[in-house]
């Protein structure tokens, strides 16, 4: 997947997992859906998700702040909110920056 790609969908994950593992697509879909549900529930509780060799998903709380509309110059208040952040693991970061991975991803 190069720059400007559409990314991967759940269906892509199910298909690729089905080919790798050999389990039915229906079973894989159920497992993937269950994993996504667990991740969503964990993040809604503001717990951190740590996936070994991948990274951490963390909910951060943002305080309300003043901002300015660049078109009108009008001052406005941005309300407090929670944002999802991802911090890649050292393993993932190293694999993304290795010369072999970079040249292989640029060829296809």
Residue 31 domain-assigned (yes or no) = yes
User: Is 91 among the domain residues?
Assistant: no
Given the structure tokens 């740590």, which residue do they identify? 50
pLDDT band, residue 52 (cuts 50/70/90)? very high
Domain that holds residue 11: 7-45
Position 81 in a domain: no
Asked if the structure places residue 86 within a domain, the reply is no
- What pLDDT score does 75 carry? 95
Residue 4 pLDDT: 54
With vertex at residue 57, the alpha carbon angle to CA 91 and CA 77, rounded to the nearest 5 degrees, is: 135
In a domain, 107, yes or no: no
Q: pLDDT tens across 76-108, in order?
A: 999 999 999 999 999 999 999 987 644 445 544
pLDDT in the model for residue 98:
85
**How are beta strands 81-88 and 65-68 bridged, if at all?**
unpaired
With respect to residue 40, please indicate whether it lies within any of the assigned structural domains: yes
Domain count, the chain: 1
Predicted local distance difference test score (pLDDT) of residue 100: 65
Tell whether 11 is covered by a domain.
yes
Asked if residue 13 belongs to a domain, the reply is yes
| The model scores a pTM over 0.75 | no
Question: In this structure, what token pair is assigned to residue 66?
Answer: 């003043």
Kindly list the distances between the CA atom of residue 4 and the CA atoms of 1, 13, 24, 92, in Å, as whole numbers in the listed order: 8, 19, 31, 20
């Amino acid at each position: 997947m190069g720059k400007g790609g559409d990314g991967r969908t759940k269906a892509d994950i199910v298909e690729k997992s089905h080919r790798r593992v050999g389990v039915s697509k229906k079973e894989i879909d159920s497992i993937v859906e269950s994993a996504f549900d667990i991740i969503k529930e964990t993040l809604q509780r503001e717990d951190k998700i740590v996936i070994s060799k991948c990274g951490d998903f963390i909910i951060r709380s943002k305080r309300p702040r003043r901002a300015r509309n660049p078109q009108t110059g009008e001052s406005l208040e941005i309300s407090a909110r929670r944002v999802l952040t991802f911090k890649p693991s050292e393993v993932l970061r190293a694999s993304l920056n290795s010369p072999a991975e970079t040249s292989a991803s640029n060829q296809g």
